Amino acid sequence: MGKVALITGVTGQDGSYLSNFLIDKEYTVHGTVRRSSSINTYRIDDLISKYQESGKFKLHYSDLLDSSSLNTLIQSINPDEIYNLAAQSHVMVSFKNPVYTTQTGNMGPLSMLEAIRYSEKDVKFYQASSSEMFGGSEKVSLNEKSPFDPKSPYAASKVFAHNMTKMYRDSYDLFCVNGILFNHESPLRGQTFVTRKITRALGRIVLGIQEKLTLGNLDASRDWGFAGDYVEGMWKMMQYNTPDDWVLATGETHTIKDFLSIAFSLYDLDWEKYVITSEKYFRPNEVDYLLGDYSKASELLDWKPKTSFEDLVKLMCESDLELAKKDKVLLDENLITPTWEHPLSS
């Protein structure tokens, strides 16, 4: 019999990649979806159509703030592994909605840890910790022992959940792990994160249906990997013989300008002719520099990133050029209004 996993945030980028990965490993996957006024399962629609009938992939309404539904789900599904991926995951939005970001980021994992503590079964728990917790003030390589210095409500709530996960592991002998993941992207990345904002706009610029792209701080540096590689690392943490904290990263860092330069040069374009900056996208407090040291995961989990930075940029650009072609058809037929510089972009 295959194992059973419960994934919160299954409709997100990582939820989609992890569900695919676990189903390939013969897991039955249950995912939580929060109610919204329109259905937003586009990242997992292929899984729904392939596996819903056989019961290998099942969705349940829940919310990080609804401890009762989380508890009931854990008791009824009886999972072997829980991956807590759900969060208000946008750093800039966390400055605008600090209470909601903190309530969900703190209470969600805590409710699940409490449910696991009283569960009769030994349930493993994965918490999606983040490199944002380090604060990135110095140009150093960061590992599991580096100190935290959160710079946003998002990062502070991730530190709380990280500490709680460790505290439950140490106090109650539970299998609780923290995956401290550096930025990871893909064609399924949310469109308001900088990489996807760039590749989405670039596709339209190449086709001549968008003129300008407005961004914020172009000098920040990030350690960007491919999400598909990182979900394998999450799973490996959960199979290791002891629960622990683990960094996943690529060991390379690049500025937003580097990303722009590689992306635009794929189409022989000079990014400086198309990109403008606006104060509106600058954050109240910036994480300037993130570079991860994944040697512990490499040594003990035999994990390493497989996708280079250049390949990641290319993969995202190619996928978004295809999407832009669809935009163009709809635009030519007057079926959509261009809202490329969306007011909710952040």
H-only helix segments in 118-244: 153-172, 194-206, 227-239
Which member of 20, 28, 146, 183 binds ligand GDD (CB under 6 A)?
Answer: 183
Whose CA is closest to 245, among 306, 154, 152, 165? Answer: 165
State yes or no: residue 182 binds ligand GDD (CB under 6 A): yes
Which member of 22, 85, 215, 231 binds ligand GDD (CB under 6 A)?
Answer: 215
- 113: three-class secondary structure by DSSP: helix
Site for ligand NAP in 183-212 (CB under 6 A): 183-184, 190
Whose CA is closest to 89, among 166, 22, 157? Answer: 157
- 142: three-class secondary structure by DSSP: strand
Cα distances from 149 to residues 154, 157, 159, 232, 285, in angstroms, run 12, 12, 9, 28, 12
Binding partner of residue 86 among ligand NAP, ligand GDD, none, CB cut-off 5 to 8 Å per kind: ligand NAP
Catalytic residue among 132, 186, 221, 294: 132
Whose CA is closest to 31, among 3, 54, 64, 61? Answer: 61
Site for ligand GDD in 248-307 (CB under 6 A): 256, 281, 283, 286, 290
Which member of 71, 192, 261, 298 binds ligand GDD (CB under 6 A)?
Answer: 192
Binding partner of residue 283 among ligand GDD, ligand NAP, none, CB cut-off 5 to 8 Å per kind: ligand GDD
154 labelled catalytic: yes
Instruction: Tally helices (H) and strands (E) across the chain.
Output: 11, 13
Stretch that binds ligand GDD, among 21-29, 192-200, 260-268, 334-342 (CB under 6 A): 192-200
Tell me, residue by residue from 143 to 182, as one string, x for binding to ligand NAP by CB under 6 A and - for no binding: --------------------------------------x-
- 234: three-class secondary structure by DSSP: helix
State yes or no: residue 186 binds ligand GDD (CB under 6 A): no
Catalytic residue among 62, 89, 111, 130: 130
State yes or no: residue 64 binds ligand NAP (CB under 6 A): yes
Tokens 């994990």 sit on residue: 303
The DSSP H or E segment spanning 260 is helix 256-265
Stretch that binds ligand NAP, among 13-21, 234-242, 280-288, 299-307 (CB under 6 A): 13-21
CB of 28 to ligand GDD, least distance (A): 27
Stretch that binds ligand GDD, among 18-26, 44-52, 193-201, 311-319 (CB under 6 A): 193-201
Stretch that binds ligand NAP, among 12-20, 51-59, 283-291, 296-304 (CB under 6 A): 12-20
The neighbour count for residue 117, using CB atoms within 10 Å, is 14
Binding partner of residue 215 among ligand GDD, ligand NAP, none, CB cut-off 5 to 8 Å per kind: ligand GDD
CA distance 279 to 277: 7
The DSSP H or E segment spanning 29 is strand 28-33
Instruction: Name the residue type at position 302.
Output: D
- 247: three-class secondary structure by DSSP: strand
* Token code pair at residue 298: 């490499």
Cα distances from 104 to residues 1, 11, 78, 97, 273, in angstroms, run 34, 16, 23, 11, 41
Residues that bind ligand GDD (CB under 6 A): 89, 91-92, 130-132, 182-183, 192-194, 197, 215-217, 220, 222, 256, 281, 283, 286, 290, 346
Residues that bind ligand NAP (CB under 6 A): 8-9, 11-15, 34, 36, 40, 63-65, 85-89, 104, 128, 130, 181, 183-184, 190
Would you please indicate which residues are annotated as catalytic (active-site) residues?
Answer: 130, 132, 154
